[in-house]
Amino acid sequence: MDNRDKPYDTELLHSMYDYLCAHGDCYYIEYNGVLVGDVSLRDSGEIAIMICKEYQNKHIGRRCVIDMLKLAKEKEMAKVTANIYSFNAQSRRMFLSVGFRQTDEEWYEYAL
C-alpha cells in the first residue's frame, strides 16, 4: 500500500481500521473465501483500496472501486478522490480506466 518492506503490526492495523470506520465506510475484500484486501470510502469522498499482490490483476480492485462509486452516488457525494503513490503505476491505470482523471501528481478525481 505504501511501499513498506515490512507488514503492518496488529496495533497499527487496528488503529488504521478504527480511524477508517469512524470516518466513513470500510470493507474487507474476500475472494473465493480468502481475505485479500480492503476498500474504504471516507466521509470526505476519498477512496482507498489495498489488494494483496497475489490477487492483483484479477479485476477485484476494479469491481470494488466501481462499487464504492455507486455508494458515493447513493450518499449524494459530488466527487470521489483517490491518493495514489507515484510508484503505483498499476493502480493509477486501474483508476484511470474506470473514469478517474489525474488532478495532481498523486491525486485522482471522479465527478459523480
* Residue 41: closest CA among 15, 98, 79: 79
Q: What confidence score (pLDDT) does residue 84 get? A: 97
Proportion of the chain above pLDDT 90, given as a percent = 75
Q: Vertex 78, ends 73 and 82: CA angle to 5°?
A: 85
Domains and CATH numbers, the chain: 10-111 (3.40.630.30)
Taking only the tens place, the pLDDT of each residue in 1-19 is: 555 566 667 787 777 778 8
Taking only the tens place, the pLDDT of each residue in 55-71 is: 999 999 999 999 999 99
The pTM assigned to this predicted structure is 0.85
Q: How far apart are CA 8 and CA 52, in angstroms?
A: 13
Q: What confidence score (pLDDT) does residue 3 get? A: 56
User: Residue for cell digits 470506520?
Assistant: 21
Q: How far apart are CA 84 and CA 94, in angstroms?
A: 11
